[in-house]
Amino acid sequence: MTRPPRRVSLLVIPAIVALAASGALTEHAASGQVVPLTDGAHPRVTNRCPVDTLPLRPVDLPALRHFALRLALHGVHKLGSRSIDYRDARARASFPTFYTGYVRIACPKRLVQRVIDRTADVLVRYRRVNWSASLSFSIFLISRTPHGLVGWAQMH
């Protein structure tokens, strides 16, 4: 195996370090730790108030919907003998959040209004689940942070 020219190595290594430092190669796990974005890394609901939220913009709505669909795949998979079919799920996102009471309980007082303004409600409907009203949808509270999107609560 031949080594690449030294000039190429000197250009590639700083680019990889810059991507890793910017958070482009990572995402938040449920533990709050940063994990690499690989096929094995799945988004999880953190159950923690995000303290470093960034403003949401209308252009973020498609990414919020896609992120919620990825979060939804890690919910309940079976209830008794019935399994939940997540195929054809649809997501709808809106912000600011409707769940202001929950935010007031979950977040520090000084951050409440900022988190309310910067959190989206994303409703995911499971169209193939027609045997249980409560299991036919999930609602996620999702915020944008400097490290990317974070799902920090799931409502039922």
Render pLDDT for 2-36 as a digit per residue (tens, 0 to 9).
Answer: 555 554 444 444 444 343 444 444 433 333 333 33
Structure pTM?
0.70
pLDDT tens-digit map of 32-46: 333 333 344 678 899
What pLDDT, on the 0 to 100 scale, is given for residue 73? 82
Do the Cβ atoms of 74 and 128 come closer than 8 Å? no
Residue 23 resides in a domain: no
Q: What one-character DSSP code corresponds to residue 9?
A: H
What pLDDT, on the 0 to 100 scale, is given for residue 15? 42
User: In terms of residue numbers, what domain contains 141?
Assistant: 40-155
- Residue entry with tokens 């159950």: 47
pLDDT tens-digit map of 54-69: 999 999 999 999 999 9
Residue 64 resides in a domain: yes
- Residues 87, 90, 96, 99, Cα dihedral to 10°: -60
Q: End-to-end CA distance of the chain, in Å?
A: 56
Residue 7 resides in a domain: no
For residues 90 and 60, give the distance between their C-alpha atoms in angstroms, rounded to a whole number.
17
Residue 78 resides in a domain: yes
For the cut 90, the answer to whether the pLDDT of residue 142 exceeds it is yes
Residue 104 resides in a domain: yes
Residue 82 resides in a domain: yes
Binning the chain into helix, strand and coil, the percentages to the nearest 5 are: 30, 25, 45
Residue 19 resides in a domain: no
Q: Give residues with Cβ within 8 angstroms of 64, minimum separation 6.
A: 56, 91, 93, 120, 122, 142, 149
Residue 5 resides in a domain: no
What pLDDT, on the 0 to 100 scale, is given for residue 77? 65
Give me the number of domains the chain comprises.
Answer: 1
Report the run of H or E that residue 75 belongs to, with start and end. Answer: none
